[in-house]
Structure 1
Amino acid sequence: MKNFRVAVWVAVIIVAAVLGWLTLNITKTRDMPLAEGPFGVPFTLVSQSGEPITEQALRGKPTAVFFGFTHCPEVCPTTLFELNGWMEKVDPAGDKIQAYFVTVDPERDTPEILKQYVLNVSKRITGISGTPEKVADVIKGFRVYAKKVPVDEKDPSGEYTMDHTASVFLLDAEGRFAGTIAYGENPDTAVKKLENLISKG
């Protein structure tokens, strides 16, 4: 009987030690900083001015990135207009945050068309286009949804529109993902997100 009690206590001590070790390691794992690299993929596209632009443009300062297209009837012009207004509130001088509008419709959105379209809304947002293949790689790399949709289902090769992700992506100064601003988000919430993005650098 005495040996049985000793064995039970030994077992209890062993279990307690194992649980203590597991708890310690789980706590350490939670406290370890997550290794996060730049969001998206390397790319070489074309800015609205016709100059080459790479992923390095998304570094150096907090960045807002929106994917859309110039034939977009409502979501894109609304988002760009609102984004410009939010940026003017949080960064009147225009030197703390930058923004890019990446087309999901490169077949129609040439740099020239993008420039005319974007400048009608903002002088602080830069349009980006490129070959369909390269733009497709960026869309995939940023985990953006974009799909060509025929206006007339009976004529799939005719006029089309684009379904696409409607959120604005927020990146920190290192190009790391820092959140999103949803389409239709409360303006005060959107401004607060941009303020937080700037404060974190």
Structure 2
Amino acid sequence: MFDRKILLILLVALATGAGLIAAEYVFDREAPKGPELQTVRLLSKPREIPAFELQQSDRTQLIPGELRGHWTLVFIGFTFCPDICPTTLSALAGPQKRWEALPEATRPRLLFVSVDPERDTVERIGEYVHAFHKDTLSATADIPTLERFVKSLSLVYAKVPLSEDAPPDQYTIDHSATLVLLDPQGRMAGVIQPPLKPDAIAQDLIALSQAGR
């Protein structure tokens, strides 16, 4: 049964998660070295994340080593998302087009991770993200794996019924809209907070890639 108190707790958790991310920059005064950035907020020291194993749209496994050598933006969401996900992926398509001019070996990447494995098959996720840009990576996993992965990036999500008497399959997902940036070593290096600025995102990732950090 749908409980408004539980929903309130989940929404507070979402807000708290965003606050914890922001706190890392408010209270961490040491300026990271590197190119001057417009919208990316870098951690003063990149943070190692636990090993993970996600399933990609081509049914291959996505493990940390697959992302090494590239700056990677990670965005969590779900294909039934009515607003944040399509808006975000659409906004990032512009930067991705600009990144096509960079060498493939160091080109920035975008990884979309579905946190709705009950409805989002890997094939569906692949079709969904490629409608925005052909280079977008996509993956999902079972719920325990997703929870560990999302938590390691200081992100949060929650399954929420559409109404008090909604059947089990009638729900939405509340989730962080923050983009997490992984460095070429696969560490959490920073975040991008909405509202997104596509031109600034494009330029920041180009600068980081060319700096070879």
Q: Taking structure 1 as the reference length, what is the TM-score of the superposition?
A: 0.75
What is the match of residue 126 of structure 2? 115
The alpha carbon displacement at 1:164 in A equals: 0.5
CA contact (8 A) 1:79 1:183 kept: no
Aligned Cα root-mean-square deviation (Å): 2.3
Structure 2 stretches lacking a partner, 5+ long = 1-29, 34-43
2:210 is the alignment partner of 1:199: yes
Partner AA of 2:198 in structure 1: P
Please give the secondary structure, in 1, of the residue aligned with 2:81: coil
Alignment of 1:61-80 (within 5 A): 61-80=70-89
Please give the secondary structure, in 1, of the residue aligned with 2:80: coil
**Matched length:** 170
Please give the secondary structure, in 1, of the residue aligned with 2:166: coil
2:148 is the alignment partner of 1:148: no
What is the match of residue 45 of structure 1? 54
- Max radius of gyration: which structure? 1
What percentage of residue pairs aligned between the two structures are identical? 34
Please give the secondary structure, in 2, of the residue aligned with 1:163: strand
Please give the secondary structure, in 2, of the residue aligned with 1:99: strand
Q: Deviations over 1:164-190 (max 9, x none)?
A: 111221122112233222232233322
Structure 1 stretches lacking a partner, 5+ long = 1-29
Counting helix residues as a fraction of each chain, which structure ranks higher?
A: 1
Alignment of 1:22-171 (within 5 A): 36-38=46-48, 40-93=49-102, 95=104, 96-155=107-166, 157-171=168-182
CA contact (8 A) 1:41 1:142 kept: no
CA contact (8 A) 1:62 1:98 kept: yes
What is the match of residue 41 of structure 2? none
